[in-house]
Structure 1
Amino acid sequence: MISPTSDLGSKLALDTKGLGDLKQSARAGSPEALKTAATQFEAMFINMMMKSMRDATPQDGVLDNQQTKMFTSMLDQQMSQNLAKRGVGLADVLIRQLGAQAVNAQALAIGGDQNVPTSTAMPAPQGAGTLMTTPGALPKPSTSSMPALNGSGRPQAPHVASFQQKLGADAEAASKVTGIPAKFMLGQAALESGWGKREIKNADGSASHNLFGIKAGPGWKGKVATAATTEYVGGVPQTRVEKFRAYDSYADGFKDYARLISTNPRYEKVLASAGDASSFAHGLQKAGYATDPLYAAKLSRIITHSLA
């Protein structure tokens, strides 16, 4: 069956039924609707140019009246439609621009730079975890030139792909210790740090390499970074200044996170539910990793929709 938007260019520019079909297809988000809408915009642009030329031409002849002006205007609209159907290049530019924005906007909306609070992860004793299997581990880097797809089957946003590529190896190493899929830990690091854009900084402005918002408790003997964080008390957000652990590298940060999750008894159920993104996220929230009441929902969405 032919799409109702595919032959709109051959109809009258004022065909309300055709425009109604275009609106209906646009709501469905079809590529054909995007192409036709861009063509309609191109037609409108051409019509504006023709109208400007008409206005610059004297129209006070013997045969000129309101009726002739009306039909001339209708003729110009239809000519604009026909010219736009052949294309002058503007519609192609719009399609490329709007298509790219739609992909990036959806990726950001699902798992991008959100205004999420830093967690209240409690420090854990030092120690090594147990080697476990790693279901759902990150795929090996592909040699294909095709862009990576996120969990929704759409091309990944550039900042998401860069974050995953940069930290993938460190997440894999932590996965071998905890048994938690690397993708799950990357999602948590992304949520806590806003995809690295809101990483906790040292006093001199350098990176603390703490992507998980792990606080520096009394037993922490390493470096410390002080930063403001949002905590939820009774469901109400409050801004506080807290001390957080600082590391020499992101690899050290992932290693410490692995020790925290694998050796602290409060996270036993989190490890037991590491095979499912939703169970993992809700397990962290129930264990008190963060005070944000929407923490589990945000984390699940990032893991399942943003990461490859």
Structure 2
Amino acid sequence: MDMKLDTKSQLEMSRSTLDFNGLDTLRTAAKNGDGKALEEAAKQFEAIFVKMLLSSMRKAQDALADQDSPFNSEQVKFYRDMHDQQLATDLSTNGSIGLAEIIIQQMDINKEATTINGLRSNANIEDINRYRKLLQENNHKTVSNSDASIQKQAAFASPKDFVQGLYDKAVAAAEKLDIDPKALLAQAAVETGWGKYVIQQNDGNSSHNLFGIKADPRWQGKKAVVDTIEYVNQIPEKQQASFRSYSDFADSLSDYVDFIKSNPRYSEAIEKTENAASYFKSLQEAGYATDPSYADKIMSVYNGSLLNELLP
């Protein structure tokens, strides 16, 4: 049997399972002058790197997962990890990322070295980004299914009740901020799911917090300490935080206006209140929310038929 063909077979078998013992085979092939050894080593390194990336994403998903869900069992995780492992191998084998190519160009003494700027123009991580987006969507579903019913309570029976119950109060608050009251209703709808998920206090009573305003050191009133979701590097993570608690919804709307107007970081947003899209974009850029789609979600409600049909 051809020794090089046999070595190639061993290398491919090792790569398909990410077996670290295969590095010995690579070393032997390199000593025998097999030019494929560096290429295989680079692909295996890239696969290991991608597997680590996928594993870090999975940790975020596991942190948010419902422990009682049948989809969170050890058996499911076992097969999920096998899938991720093979996905990492396929991505490296197909050259979807291009890291292996850079390693080869840097390490091969028979080729001219290149910098990272020399990465081929069609190299990209679209597959990884697609996978990352899928994980984020799964994380959102997990949070919605597992946490909302425990830590939040319905204050309104329907979107219609939400709009009818808050519209007059929103008009009064909007006048102080010089903004369309519909914009405040849209933001509150996104924050509370049309009033279905208003944060509860520890005693079980409603916090009446319509805008997710946290209780920073300046806040001297009541607080509601709950688990929440914050985005770190665009990945949702479960954290515990304190939120402001109000006596009623009118108090919440009034405090929102004071909170925005008294905070220098939102000064640019205040100058754009005549345009809801510009206002919420500036609000997000100033750090009001960590959700990268926060402004888009609000504008979707603001321009949507549901809110506009319900307005008096």
**Higher relative contact order by CA 8 Å / sep ≥ 6: 1 or 2?**
1
Q: Which has the higher helix share?
A: 2
For the pair shown, which has the larger CA radius of gyration, 1 or 2?
A: 1
